[in-house]
């Protein structure tokens, strides 16, 4: 399951959709293979397709692990493998996306079994920050930082709180350039 999750997470959806459109999204816009850059470069429909596929990359391994009745520790490792696959995909020489959509897929998969309250909370924060600021990276960072607290507050089991903390750390680290641009006030806005 860990290998399956990593390989599924490694599928570079945004890159593939760009390639099919004759564009290397890694050399356009922000250079990221995630949904936001794909939407900027290829249009909102392709961006939404990237978002849906990247969410599925996190959701499917978690859902299958829980259906197979794996322990929470094992399921957390499987989930982390999918997330790491998106960040460091073997198919793109380990240069992948920022992990937000795949982390959302993990949260949705876990939420189906342990309650959706933390997922609804972080989604509300994401959309609120995104609508007010029109800066997707700021909304992503706020959501990533809130997720572990939401998991803890809603009494999720410890392995899942730890998983959310590790994913939050990965998302923050992958957003280093965005954080620098936010500090300088030059992070691009996005029309929602």
pLDDT for 191 equals: 63
CA distance 89 to 148: 25
Tell whether 116 is covered by a domain: yes
Tell whether 33 is covered by a domain: yes
Q: Could you tell me the pTM of the whole model? A: 0.92
Tell whether 35 is covered by a domain: yes
The structural domain count of the chain equals 1
Tell whether 192 is covered by a domain: no
Tell whether 178 is covered by a domain: yes
pLDDT for 188 equals: 82
pLDDT tens, 3-32?
A: 999 999 999 999 999 899 888 988 887 778
pLDDT tens, 87-106?
A: 999 999 998 999 999 999 99
Tell whether 173 is covered by a domain: yes
Can you list the residues of the chain whose pLDDT is less than 70? 191-192
Long-range contacts of 149-158 (CB under 8 A, 24+ apart): 150/117, 150/118, 150/121, 150/122, 151/118, 153/118, 154/115, 154/117, 154/118, 154/121, 156/110, 156/114, 156/115, 156/118, 157/72, 157/114
Tell whether 191 is covered by a domain: no
The range of the structural domain enclosing residue 56 comes to 2-184
Tell whether 190 is covered by a domain: no
CA distance 85 to 105: 13
- Contact criterion met (CB below 8 Å) for 164 and 148: yes
């Amino acid at each position: 399951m860990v290998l399956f999750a990593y390989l599924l997470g490694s599928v570079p959806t945004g890159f593939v959709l760009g390639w099919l459109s004759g564009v290397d999204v890694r050399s356009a816009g922000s250079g990221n293979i995630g949904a936001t850059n794909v939407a900027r470069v290829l249009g909102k429909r392709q961006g939404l397709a990237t978002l849906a596929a990247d969410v599925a990359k996190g959701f499917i391994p978690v859902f299958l692990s829980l259906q197979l009745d794996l322990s929470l520790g094992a399921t957390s490792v499987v989930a982390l493998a999918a997330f790491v696959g998106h960040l460091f995909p073997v198919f793109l020489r380990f240069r992948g996306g920022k992990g937000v959509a795949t982390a959302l897929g993990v949260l949705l998969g876990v939420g189906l079994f342990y309650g959706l309250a933390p997922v609804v909370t972080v989604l509300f924060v994401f959309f609120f920050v995104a609508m007010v600021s029109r800066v997707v990276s700021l909304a992503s960072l706020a959501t990533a930082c809130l997720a572990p607290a939401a998991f803890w507050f809603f009494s999720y089991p410890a392995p899942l709180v730890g998983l959310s903390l590790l994913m939050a750390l990965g998302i923050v680290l992958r957003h280093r350039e965005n954080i620098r641009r936010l500090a300088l006030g030059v992070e691009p806005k996005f029309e929602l």
